[in-house]
Structure 1
């Protein structure tokens, strides 16, 4: 084997790159390997909402990760901009959710000490005048958003400046091991040795780890569209019936998203575009005249227990998994990366790790 590292991370999305950044801060010699360009899969395709959708319906394990990450994001965004010169465009825009169980949401907010505003139909119209729908709603004023592509570019530049090796367009075919412990990874161009391997390749995790054994992580396609809208048409992220509008600082509006079981097919479809346009234009008729500028798809890493896997592989020493975040990869990334780094470097973990362990 050649090119020995302390840690090889398989996957260059937001989870993999944030994990690499955390580990490099411990002085580790880290290499990130991605089968394509870094930051071009599910991490790039997401909407950028720094909150789980309907956070009051999530389990406590998700909520702990989300809250730690939400507290970390303002400083992380500033640090990444200082490192890279790229502004990730962190923006506390608030989230307005319509047609929800106000009692359930309020009870959750009280339990977790989260600011929540109950919004009457009239106040919905005052907050977002272009909405045609104005039923009972809640608003989470502290929910923020970030521009995924800019965040990912700033992360990549930060890794370069911290001396992390990044290998792109190189498939990892298998995990090299001696039967009980990892020795590195096997790539198309040869073997790379490492003392530890962290698998953070999202929907492709189960494919890579199948010979060793791993939890089931599967692809779930999501499609989004981007509308060119009049300036300042919307101020809040608007969430209705599992679809959403995300106003960007450049005046565009993201509309998402579908949830489809199509295997590893990440192509876009006319049916999805129609679904998203219909949602947007029904919710806000002003959007009927707004052209679609872009349409894309990504593959989220889903799993049946609805909690990501963050921890050591139970049967292979030196092997770790940080994957299965489904729709929450962006919002959970800082805490997931920090927890993973704590476990790899034998530090006191930021959160009890048992809820995320691989069974």
Structure 2
């Protein structure tokens, strides 16, 4: 623990791992530190949709961050997987919005962003997904997905191959500073010294920072189901009433997700499982025949104004924050990492004013 690495990153989820990837590209030595196993919190629990849940509901800044994530994701995953030899299952399966009240908003957003769409009537929906009462849908053919647990594994393997140091089961107790200058992270295994520090600990970022936290980053629990089906049963991601069904290449279907504020307990319950299953059947009746294989919960990192915190912490030179991406953490991991890399390389405190940790 005596070697001085240029950048120490507290948090081994997709945001922290992607930040490490881009900083290695920029020539930095990197240490990634995680309290548990790499990628096993929100990055493992989420669905991996590479398209915002109703993008027109987000701020212009978050929309730009999301669109940048979509633009670079294919090349990002290809480079990571080529290094690791692991297939993260990036696929352009498309996404179909089934909410009648959102169709016109979605169409207007698509026209504004030159996003191809296809209007589906009841007959077309029934042909795709079986008999349905849904009157119409709006299909986004270029929406993609990634199998996020595999991407976590791929990034971990690739980072180690490229020379990054990775410390698992190593809780960070806080940053160490001297005259408001970052010197390293105190951990359960001793100090990890570095000239730059990045806190990318998701819902735990504010707890890690303590009194240095510029504003709360708080957890919002989401429960998910995994159903076992046959490949090809569901051709695309479905979205309705804020819930989704995601087809994996092996035939499994992910169904999610709830929004449950209230603390750090990752709880599951039978009533919610039944509700999620009912939502899945409402989107595609054939899903009602599938057995439930797993039921779990994860904690998304949220902020009070719905925008992430990306940049240097106010009043502490060399200490940066990259967290608060909420439901877009998988999608925005590489685009957020680009911003954080530029902040460190160019010595910027707030590359994007809307995401400035000091904005409140």
TM over 0.5, yes or no?
yes
Question: What SS does the corresponding residue of 1:92 show, helix, strand or coil?
Answer: coil
Aligned equivalents of 2:131 and 2:64: distance in 1?
A: 33
Corresponding residue for 1:113? 114
Aligned equivalents of 1:81 and 1:27: distance in 2?
A: 20
Question: What SS does the corresponding residue of 1:295 show, helix, strand or coil?
Answer: strand
Equivalent runs, 1:117-196 vs 2, <5 Å: 117-126=118-127, 128-130=128-130, 132-196=132-196
Corresponding residue for 2:253? 253
Equivalent runs, 1:296-307 vs 2, <5 Å: 296-307=296-307
Corresponding residue for 1:103? 104
Question: What SS does the corresponding residue of 1:101 show, helix, strand or coil?
Answer: helix
- Cα deviation for residue 103 of structure 1 reads 2.2
Question: Aligned pairs, how many?
Answer: 357
**Where does structure 1 differ by over 3 angstroms across 4 or more consecutive aligned residues?**
none
Range 16-25 or range 183-192, more displaced: 183-192
Aligned equivalents of 1:301 and 1:312: distance in 2?
A: 18
User: What's the CA shift string for 1:46-103, capped at 9, x where partnerless?
Assistant: 0010011011211111111111111111112211221011011111011000124322
In angstroms, what is the RMSD of aligned CA positions?
Answer: 1.7
Aligned equivalents of 2:8 and 2:191: distance in 1?
A: 12
Aligned equivalents of 2:206 and 2:145: distance in 1?
A: 30
Question: What SS does the corresponding residue of 2:72 show, helix, strand or coil?
Answer: helix
Range 79-88 or range 226-235, more displaced: 226-235
Range 167-176 or range 68-77, more displaced: 68-77
Give yes or no for contact 1:92–1:145 (8 Å, CA) kept in 2.
yes
Give yes or no for contact 1:130–1:233 (8 Å, CA) kept in 2.
no
User: What's the CA shift string for 1:214-234, capped at 9, x where partnerless?
Assistant: 221001111111111233111
- Cα deviation for residue 347 of structure 1 reads 7.5
TM-score for the superposition, normalised by structure 1: 0.96
Corresponding residue for 2:267? 267
User: What's the CA shift string for 1:5-24, capped at 9, x where partnerless?
Assistant: 11100000000000001001
Give the gaps of 5 or more residues in structure 2: none
Aligned equivalents of 1:296 and 1:278: distance in 2?
A: 17
User: What's the CA shift string for 1:231-257, capped at 9, x where partnerless?
Assistant: 311101000101111011001111111
User: What's the CA shift string for 1:272-320, capped at 9, x where partnerless?
Assistant: 2111112123333322221101111111001111111111111111110
Give yes or no for contact 1:48–1:146 (8 Å, CA) kept in 2.
yes
Give the gaps of 5 or more residues in structure 1: none
